[in-house]
Amino acid sequence: MTCAVSGLLKDQVALITGAGRGMGRAHAQLLAAQGAQVIVHDVFEERVQETVALLEPLGVSTMAAVVDIADITAMTAMVKDAEARFGKIDILVNNAGISADRAGIAEIDESMYDRMFDIHVKGAFFVTRAVAPGMVARKHGSIINISSIWGQVGHHFGSTYCAAKAAMLGFTKAWAKEFAPHGVTVNAIAPGGVTSPMAIEKDGLAAVQERMKAVPMGRWAEPEEIAHAVLYFASPHSRFVTGQVINLSGGQTIVGI
C-alpha cells in the first residue's frame, strides 16, 4: 500500500545522475518526499537499488537507471526510456561526479584527465542535450548543475577537477540564456566540503576533520543541506531565477578567509 503523493513537486519527474549515495541520494530522497517521481541513476547497480528502496515508502514511482554517465549512447537511450515511461522529465540534476585527484599537473596523465572530463563535463552536457528538447517543447523545466567552490576559486591540487567544475558553471550561464525564452531555468550549486562517503573514502576521516578547520563555520555541509538548495531550484518558488550559482561552503569563499 502506498501513501497519497503530495508536496511542492507533485506530478513532477526528476532525473538525478549519480544518485546511488551521498549527495545524489539525498537529492533523490528530498525531491521524492516533495512528491516527485524519481529516475535514480548511477553506474553502480547495488547503490541504485539501495536508493530506490529508500524511496519506496514515500509512495512515488521510481526508475532504476544503471548506466555509465560517460556512455553517451546508453545515457541518451536511458532518457528516452524514462520519457516513454513517465511521459516527461521536468527536473534534471547533473550530480554525477568523482572526487579530485590529489595530484599536481606533472602527475596528471591523459587517462586521469579524460576520466575527470568524461564524467563531469561530457556526461552533464549530453544528458542535458537529451533531456532539454522535451522541456523546451513543454515550456517548463529545471536544470540544476552541481558544481563546486573549487570551480570558482581553484585549489592547489587536482586542477582537472577545478576546471571540470568551472565548466559546469559555464554551462549554467550559457544554457540559462539559451533556454530562458522557453521557460526552462538553469542554475548551479557550488558546495564546499560535504561529508559524503566519497570524500571520506578518498582522504579519511582525520584528514576531513582537519580540513574543516579552514571553514568559518567549523564544519562541512551534510548532503541533506545541499539537497535543500536543489529543492529550491526545482520548485515553483524559483521560476523567475535562472543563471544563478549558490555557494554552500559555510563561509569558505568569503574574501579574506
Arithmetic mean of pLDDT over the chain: 93
Architecture of domain 13-248: 3-Layer(aba) Sandwich (3.40)
Name residues whose C-beta falls within 8 Å of residue 63's C-beta, 6 or more positions apart in sequence: 37, 38, 39, 40, 81, 82, 85, 86
Q: Which residue ranges make up each domain of the chain?
A: 13-248
What pLDDT score was predicted for residue 206? 81
Q: How confident is the model at residue 2 (pLDDT cuts 50, 70, 90)?
A: very low
Average pLDDT estimate for 229-254: 95
Residue 257 has pLDDT above 60, yes or no: no
Q: What percent of the chain has pLDDT over 90?
A: 78
Contact 180, 155 (CB under 8 A): no
Average pLDDT estimate for 141-145: 98
pTM equals: 0.92
Please choose, from the candidates 210, 199, 208, 191, the residue with its C-alpha nearest in 3D space to the C-alpha of residue 251.
191
What pLDDT score was predicted for residue 204? 79
Residue 48 has pLDDT above 60, yes or no: yes
Query: Is 161 a residue of the active site?
Result: yes
What pLDDT score was predicted for residue 4? 52
Between 159-179 and 110-117, two packed helices, what is the crossing angle to 10 degrees?
30
Please choose, from the candidates 198, 176, 196, 177, the residue with its C-alpha nearest in 3D space to the C-alpha of residue 187.
176
Q: Choosing from 86, 117, 161, 179, which is the catalytic residue?
A: 161
pLDDT, one tens digit per residue, over 155-195 is 877 899 999 999 999 999 999 999 999 999 999 999 998 88
Between 22-33 and 223-234, two packed helices, what is the crossing angle to 10 degrees?
50
Residue-by-residue DSSP string for 45-89: HHHHHHHHHHHGGGT--EEEEE--TT-HHHHHHHHHHHHHHHS--
